[in-house]
């Protein structure tokens, strides 16, 4: 019975087994084609550095209103003009007019070879007679008020001083004789101040000392006439004095 059942089962299952045996197994699944690797993304651009913020511009401070034209501005302009020394293009010849003691009134020709030295010379008149003088002036620097040092030599020719002296009183015969021929020489040294433009025109004032020497003429005749001493003999005395000296005037350069 068991064998019959087994045989029957085999008969029933035989076609299925044969079909299963003959049917080839399915091929293994083909691997999917490799997908292309996408290119790497381009690098992101570097961020631009931040520009520093421009500082806030301060509102410009308006300039102060111009000062009115006063003496201060004129003084400053004069200081700038006067402080610059003379150069090669400045004139070197000029004239000087001044008055004082012991030279009297004078007019001189001025020569300036260099900016810190001037030479002058010319005639003088002392209300008695005429004379001549020559001098030099040193200028250490230029400013609104420029200091100077001057030295001068002069000679007053002999003249009758009685005419001038008689205007202040009556003269005796002896005094008239002594004043008939009056002349003198002098040397003076003076310190001064100048203001103006040293290149062209300036005023000056000077003061110092003078050494004056002179002689008294006809002294013997004057004494004899005064005393009546006919046998009196004497030479004309020489007189030397030191006296203050003053001088003021201006100079003008033109060439």
Kindly report, residue by residue over 19-76, the tens digit of the pLDDT: 554 455 565 555 544 455 666 666 666 666 565 555 555 566 766 655 555 445 555 5
pTM beyond 0.75? no
Query: Is 208 within 8 Å of 173 (Cβ atoms)?
Result: no
Cα(84)–Cα(49) distance, rounded to whole angstroms? 57
State both tokens at 215. Answer: 């002689």
Architecture in CATH for domain 93-253: Beta Barrel (2.40)
Q: Domain residue spans in the chain?
A: 93-253
Q: DSSP letters along 115-166, please?
A: TTEEEEEEEEE-SS-EEEEEEEEE-S---SEEEEEEEEEEEEEEE--HHHHG
pLDDT < 50 stretches in the chain:
17-18, 21-22, 32-34, 70-71, 80-84
What pLDDT, in 10s, does the model give residues 149-158?
999 999 999 9
pLDDT at 83 (0 to 100) = 46
């Amino acid at each position: 019975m068991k064998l019959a059942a087994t045989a029957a089962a085999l008969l029933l299952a035989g076609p299925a087994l044969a079909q299963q045996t003959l049917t080839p197994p399915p091929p293994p699944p083909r691997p999917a084609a490799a997908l292309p690797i996408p290119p790497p993304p381009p690098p992101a651009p570097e961020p631009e550095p931040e520009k520093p913020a421009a500082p806030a511009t301060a509102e410009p401070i308006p300039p102060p209103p111009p000062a009115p034209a006063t003496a201060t501005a004129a003084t400053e302009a004069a200081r700038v003009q006067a402080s610059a020394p003379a150069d090669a293009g400045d004139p070197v010849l000029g004239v000087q007019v001044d008055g004082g003691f012991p030279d009297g009134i004078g007019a001189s020709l001025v020569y300036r070879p260099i900016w810190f030295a001037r030479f002058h010379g010319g005639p003088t008149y002392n209300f008695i007679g005429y004379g001549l003088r020559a001098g030099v002036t040193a200028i250490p620097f230029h400013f609104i008020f420029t200091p100077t040092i001057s030295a001068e030599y002069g000679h007053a020719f002999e003249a009758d001083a009685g005419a001038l002296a008689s205007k202040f009183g009556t003269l005796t015969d002896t005094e008239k004789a002594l004043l008939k021929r009056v002349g003198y020489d002098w040397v003076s040294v003076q310190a001064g101040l100048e203001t103006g433009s040293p290149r062209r025109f300036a005023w000056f004032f000077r003061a110092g000392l003078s050494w004056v020497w002179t002689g008294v003429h006809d002294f013997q005749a004057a004494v004899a006439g005064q005393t009546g001493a006919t046998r009196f003999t004497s030479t004309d005395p020489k007189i030397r004095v030191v006296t203050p000296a003053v001088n003021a005037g201006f100079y003008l350069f033109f060439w």
